[in-house]
Amino acid sequence: MTGTLAYEVRRTSGDEELAAAIELRHQVFCVEQGVPKREELDGRDHEAMHLVAVSGTDVLATCRLLFVGPTVQFSRLAVRADARRRGIASALLERADEETRAAGARRLVLHAQTYARSLYEAAGYQPRGRIFMEAGIEHIAMEKYV
């Protein structure tokens, strides 16, 4: 994909779009990164808020928010390979902040793959604790207060 890319960031609209978001996660996490399907699909999608970046009918990126009291667990951030380094993940992180505030929650937590740590630092997240392995990939816990 070359040139400028017009996209909209919002919650998923309808079952078909949610299915497309979950298919994108499968491509990125399971096919590209080798995460086992049973770990990617952890049974919590039905209780989550799903955000997407869409261009026309194409789902370019997605992420998931789980609301647990005053804390939001942010996860499953995936951007289609040909749409990366255009600020789309950063736009989803910004929308996640807005949704957190709108829900009256105060804190976002996530497990960052260490290679992508600067993405989250640029969005205002701070690391917490030690590096650990999850799904065979190096991670670090990060959090942000909004």
Ligand X SMILES: CC(C)(COP(=O)(O)OP(=O)(O)OC[C@H]1O[C@@H](n2cnc3c(N)ncnc32)[C@H](O)[C@@H]1OP(=O)(O)O)[C@@H](O)C(=O)NCCC(=O)NCCS
* Residue 79 in the binding site for ligand X (CB under 6 A): yes
Selected from 38, 46, 85, 130, the binder of ligand X by CB under 6 A is 85
How many residues sit in the footprint of ligand X (CB under 6 A)?
18
* Structure token digits, residue 126: 């701070």
Residues 20 and 95: their CA atoms lie apart, in Å, by: 19
- How many angstroms from the chain centroid is the CA of residue 41? 14
At residue 11, φ and ψ (nearest 5 deg) are -70, 155
* Residue 78 in the binding site for ligand X (CB under 6 A): yes
Kindly tell me which of 90 and 126 has the beta carbon lying closer to ligand X: 90
* Residue 133 in the binding site for ligand X (CB under 6 A): no
Kindly tell me which of 16 and 134 has the beta carbon lying closer to ligand X: 134
**8 by DSSP, 3-state: which?**
strand
Selected from 112, 140, 142, 144, the binder of ligand X by CB under 6 A is 112
What letter represents residue 74's amino acid? F
* Least distance between ligand X and beta carbon 25 (Å): 9
* Residue 105 contacts residue 127 (beta carbons within 8 Å): no
